[in-house]
Structure 1
């Protein structure tokens, strides 16, 4: 976990490692599939309002993508956009749709923003106690979006994708303007993730 203080208020911004992201998802009991899906959607870059309104029909297979999937967000803050999603997330949504007998046009999560805050609050407090790490107490839904933005950007950039920032902003729904780019860089883009640093070290004369 990497943290930075807020520039103008108390508290800390958090960026989770990939292992910590998985630990958070695993902390959610399988008896509550909506909670896990909600946190996974936030770790896919969705805002809280967007998480609440995802429907099964919003998932679709990429053309020629060899079982790769995307999620369309039809009513995002900056309009309609699509973002890549894991096959595991799509399968969990498919299973829940069948088990709960949801319509294709029915919201999967369909709870209040307060409920989302409660869900992540229960998970973070449990992890803080189990891991004896008080930093988890600062974790909020917005930190999951920060984590996704930072991991996505640096992963693409390290692989040499020339439009890493543009792709991340497009998938995450930041406006392609000077102010949108400033918001992305100042409030979401965080320190280089550990897995990127570890991969980069393979190219350095460090034993």
Structure 2
């Protein structure tokens, strides 16, 4: 069984949990409270030297961290990763976009607004983060709007959709107005309507 180290409110962790639910994979959840510094302990740094969640430990003891790397590993040879090599590269393009342009702005503002008392320096940076976040949402809106299938790559949901859904569907917690984006709203509803969908704070219980 896979062991997942996670913080339930984390969108990066949620990507992994939602992927495993959609694939029907069982896992053991070990929660690490990032607000209490639990990912900076000596024990956890042996698991992930970066000191962040999520991280997984697979059955043979090997450990993998960075959320989109974990998604790529889990999705191999499944319906969540296209078979076509070019389509696989398109998925990777969206994963890189998510980590470079989307997450650093939308996720960061959600964290600042929702979980901490912002410093004066952080308050000064809110406008630049909002501008960059809306630019990322503009790109995502075009991606789903002009896709014939309504999914980012191919004719069905892939880890590209999962990676971008995680922080997009809670972007309003960071001060972003999703009612500007009808295609994104329809895309969010499609994902939430999936049979094995679970919300971001769903607590997985293993027997």
Decide which structure has greater strand share.
1
Give the TM-score of the pair, scaled to structure 2.
0.30
Give the TM-score of the pair, scaled to structure 1.
0.30
